[in-house]
Amino acid sequence: MADLLTDRVVLVSGGTQGVGASIARAAVREGASVVVTGRRADVGEAFAKELRTLGGDDTLFVQADVADLDQARHTVSATIEAFGRIDSLVNAAGLTSRGSLLDTTPELFDAHVAVNLKAPFFLMQAAVADMVGRGAPGTIVNVLTMSAHGGQPYLTPYSTTKAGLAGLTRNAAHAHRWDRIRINGVNIGWTDTEGEDLVQRTFHNADDTWLQKAAATQPMGQLGQVDDMAALVVLLLSDRSGVVTGSVIDWDQHVIGGLD
């Protein structure tokens, strides 16, 4: 790929680390003006500086906790204020804390809804309002999870809210297809990220060999790589993906419904 996002303004929610950071890097390399959001100012400013070294001279960091609706909406208004418009949105922020049907508290459930469903809903609302108001096409990609198909018993609120986001993706894509706004999602499988390393050590008592052991159990001999996933997201944001909208793509090496 080369220059797929030239002259595009792209907002990446949760774009300062992990999956979101890889998407932001890929978007900069493809010529986009990128806005990234995150909760920590030190991390965000350092990452924005990194993106500038990759050629994203006009990269902007907006500090925000998307669980706070006002802060989430502000990221879109700040993007429009800085660049005059928003062309593309990536909802990459996500909460993955554990909880089963039996032990999930109302507080934990509400936290997942706030980050994984409510924030993407209203970020999309604000972005689409700008696109429709300008009579301009646009693209949105929602980062989901293979767990949205059902998920693990210890990921019940996470799986539930991401399944809701998959439904929102299709509904909004259908509603705004005549506005030439394409909205798609990517169900990410087990992926090698800093966040996954922390999750394995925090919740699953993993040691330094967990990644090597996990890779050996996978059909392709490795976990998913964030740079590969980011390339797909950039493709979906770009004109190269043509007319596709309302698709939720399984980005994984396991096939839902396949049986041995």
**Catalytic residues, which ones?**
158
Q: Are 85 and 134 in contact (CB under 8 A)?
A: yes
Rg of the Cα atoms in the chain:
18
| Dist CA 96 CA 51 (whole Å) | 26
Q: The tokens of 123 are what?
A: 């970020």
The two beta strands, 138-145 and 33-38, are unpaired
| Dist CA 119 CA 227 (whole Å) | 25
Residues whose CB falls within 8 Å of the CB of residue 30, separated by 6 or more in sequence, listed in order: 1, 2, 3, 4, 5, 6, 234, 238
Burial of 249 by CB count in 10 Å (0-12 exposed, 13-18 middle, 19+ buried)? middle
Strands (E), the chain: 9-13, 33-38, 60-63, 88-91, 138-145, 181-188, 191-192, 224-225, 248-251
Residues whose CB falls within 8 Å of the CB of residue 85, separated by 6 or more in sequence, listed in order: 9, 130, 134, 136
Closest residue by Cα to residue 73 from 115, 123, 120:
123
